[in-house]
Amino acid sequence: MPMEPEEIKRLIKEKIPDAEITLEDLAGDNDHWSAKIVSSVFVGKTRVQQHQLVYQALQGRMGEELHALALQTSAPEI
């Protein structure tokens, strides 16, 4: 069962409250997403650590309800 964008955003915001999230449905099927996420939580973290935080927020739904998620993460510009 595909995930609705509101659910993806809700899960991420629960773990990363200040996240600015932009989602794009890449295939029009609610199953293949591109996400741009900006958060102060990412300051000082490697790209891998940033992505790990997002995957942790999705609580194991990757590969199940959420088939594909292309991530672009960054800290806010100062």
Alpha-carbon distance 60 to 68, whole Å?
13
Alpha-carbon distance 60 to 11, whole Å?
11
Q: What is the pLDDT of residue 65?
A: 77
Residues in the chain: 78
- Residue 51's pLDDT band, with cuts at 50, 70 and 90, is very high
Tokens of residue 23, six digits? 């989602």
Domains: count for the chain:
1
Q: Is the pTM of this model over 0.95?
A: no
Q: What is the pLDDT of residue 72?
A: 98
Q: What is the pLDDT of residue 26?
A: 93
Note down the domain range covering 17. Answer: 5-74
Query: Mean of the pLDDT values across residues 6-28?
Result: 96
Alpha-carbon distance 32 to 68, whole Å?
5
CATH number at residue 43: 3.30.300.90
Q: What is the pLDDT of residue 31?
A: 87
- For the chain, give the mean pLDDT: 93
**Beta strand segments in the chain, E:** 20-25, 32-38, 68-74
